[in-house]
Structure formats: structure tokens, C-alpha cells
């Protein structure tokens, strides 16, 4: 029996190690009939939840992958660092390198808002470097005389965790509260919302978001064939949203499984979203292993 168990355990360990060092590029379509024609075919790279992962010296492996995709815009949907990290200059340098590839739009996640002293200093440096840090703010992207609105949330810590560190009975985000954060959505404009927490998709849709970009769920941490992700950061089993494209009415949400944290059968992900008004744009996906 030992002759069977030991090799199986070694093989399983090797498989899980490779899984945690793998980065997968996956391509999706984001379709909205409110998208101006000038934005047809534009490519957005969605990143989130880097935490402590490095991907080689100075994030070189990750940067090379992003640059090779030639994005038009890069959205970073929160958790650039973990709450207990104190040396954030490498993350600043990484974000500056992303900006050299394409304009970067960044929102805070639950880990940033639990480390606000360091976060405030980092956000100031990022803004000074020309990165769009959206903290319950809106900016516009212009193409060919047309524009879209890009909103970014900074949700209160109470939506992620109770003060005692528990996750029981967390509040729902209401449309009225989101409107206090962001103001009213413009009805005749394509509104993009970058928000770390995907679990409020229904609220985002009622508020007026046409396209939503999110992270936070780490793909459900452990993914099972035919089942999907099984655990949320709030310790909830079988969460409603974990990874991929979701819809609520006409609102479409792209949810990346993110870059960092421990995961099983759930490679880290660079999500490439191609904007379209009606037609489907064919894409594919590929994966390879890189060094953490």
C-alpha cells in the first residue's frame, strides 16, 4: 500500500505546486449595445489580487505577458498588496511599468482599506505617476470623439468583514448607498464600473453599470470539475460568483480569478476582455507555468 500512497502523494504535491505557479491567459467578449463605435474591438486587461506574489524578479514574467497582449487599457480591481505588507515600493514600480504598456485604472480592495496608512502614501505616488486611482470617482476614456465613463468604488470595510473579524451577516450594498458613493449613473452613456467585490452585481446593475470589472474571489480558491469554485474570501461555500463572465439583465460582469494567494486546480489569471457592441469576437486561451 505504501508503494502506491507515497508516489501518489508526491505526484499530487507536484501537481498542486505547478498549479500555484501557473499563469493562464483567458480571452472573453464584453458586449454592450451602449458602447460607442469607436470602442469596438478595444482590449482591456483585467488584473486583481496580486497580494504577495512576484512572478520573477521585478514581476518580469507577469509584465512580459501583459506587454505581449498589447492592451488598450489595464484595469486593476484591488488587492494590489496584502494587508500586512509594509514595503510597497515594488508594487509602485510594478504599476508604473504597467502604465508604460497602457493607461491603468486602479481601485482599492479589502486588503488596501485595512492598511490605510500605507495605502494613502501609495495612492498619492500612483496618482503622481499618472495612474488613474478611482476612489469613489469617475473619469472618462475618449476615443475618436466618443467617450465612456469609468467609475471606481472604494467600499467600506464593513462590507468585507465585521469589526470582530467575523463574516456573519455582512450587510448588503444598496443602490442608494452606491449612489452616495458614485453619484447617479448617466443614462445615455456607456458606464463601466470597476469594483473589487463582485457579490453586489445586482446592485451595480440597478445603479446603471453596463460593464463591471471585478476580482476578490480568487476563482473560488479550489475549483472542482463540473462544480467550479467552492469557497469565497468570506468563508462561504459555493459562492454565486467566482470566475468568468456573468450577466444581470443587460449588465455584463467580468470576474477574474486573480493573480495571488493559494489555489488548487485554479491557475492565476490574466483576463483579456474585448469590447464589442454586438458581434462576437473570436478568442482563445493559453496557459504556461512561470516562476513565482
In the chain, domain spans: 22-279
pTM of the predicted protein model? 0.91
DSSP state of 235: S
- Residue 72's SS3 state is coil
* 189/185 Cα distance (integer angstroms): 8
pLDDT digits (tens, 9 = 90+) for 36-49: 999 999 999 999 99
CATH classification for the domain delimited by 22-279, as one of 3.60.21.10, 3.40.50.970, 3.40.640.10, 3.40.1280.10: 3.60.21.10
CA-wise closest residue to 181 among 132, 133, 136, 135: 136
Range list of H helices, the chain: 2-20, 60-68, 89-101, 116-128, 175-182, 201-207
pLDDT of residue 19: 58
pLDDT of residue 7: 56
If one counts every other C-beta atom within 10 angstroms of the C-beta of residue 231, the result is 18
pLDDT of residue 22: 82
pLDDT of residue 280: 60
Mean pLDDT (10-residue bins), the chain, 292 residues: 54 53 91 96 98 93 96 98 94 97 98 93 97 98 96 96 92 97 96 98 98 96 92 90 96 97 93 88 46 42
CB hemisphere CA count around 51 (13 angstroms): 15
* 136/68 Cα distance (integer angstroms): 31
Amino acid at each position: 500500500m505504501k508503494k502506491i500512497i507515497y508516489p501518489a502523494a508526491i505526484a499530487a504535491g507536484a501537481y498542486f505546486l505547478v498549479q500555484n505557479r501557473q499563469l493562464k491567459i483567458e480571452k472573453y467578449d464584453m458586449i454592450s449595445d451602449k458602447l460607442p463605435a469607436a470602442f469596438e474591438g478595444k482590449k482591456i486587461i483585467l488584473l486583481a489580487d496580486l497580494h504577495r506574489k512576484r512572478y520573477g524578479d521585478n514581476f518580469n514574467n507577469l509584465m512580459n505577458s501583459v506587454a505581449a497582449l498589447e492592451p488598450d487599457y489595464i484595469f486593476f480591481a484591488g488587492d494590489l498588496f496584502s494587508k500586512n505588507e509594509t514595503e510597497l515600493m515594488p508594487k509602485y514600480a510594478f504599476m508604473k511599468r504597467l502604465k508604460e504598456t497602457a493607461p491603468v485604472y486602479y481601485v482599492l480592495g479589502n486588503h488596501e482599506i485595512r492598511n490605510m496608512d500605507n495605502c494613502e502614501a501609495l495612492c498619492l505616488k500612483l496618482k503622481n505617476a499618472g495612474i488613474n486611482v478611482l476612489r469613489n470617482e469617475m473619469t472618462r476614456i475618449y476615443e475618436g470623439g466618443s467617450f465612456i465613463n469609468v467609475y471606481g468604488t472604494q467600499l467600506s470595510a464593513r462590507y468585507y468583514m465585521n469589526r470582530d473579524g467575523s463574516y456573519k451577516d455582512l450587510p448588503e450594498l444598496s443602490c442608494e448607498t452606491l449612489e452616495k458613493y458614485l453619484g447617479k449613473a448617466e443614462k445615455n452613456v456607456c458606464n463601466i464600473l470597476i469594483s473589487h467585490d463582485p457579490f453586489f452585481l445586482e446592485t451595480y446593475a440597478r445603479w446603471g453599470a453596463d460593464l463591471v470589472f471585478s476580482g476578490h474571489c480568487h476563482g473560488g480558491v479550489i475549483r472542482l470539475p463540473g462544480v467550479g469554485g467552492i469557497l469565497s474570501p468570506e468563508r462561504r461555500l459555493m459562492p454565486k460568483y467566482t470566475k468568468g463572465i456573468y450577466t444581470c439583465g443587460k449588465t455584463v460582469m467580468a470576474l477574474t480569478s486573480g493573480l495571488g494567494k493559494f489555489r488548487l486546480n485554479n491557475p492565476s489569471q490574466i483576463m483579456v476582455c474585448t469590447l464589442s457592441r454586438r458581434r462576437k469576437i473570436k478568442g482563445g486561451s493559453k496557459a504556461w507555468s512561470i516562476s513565482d
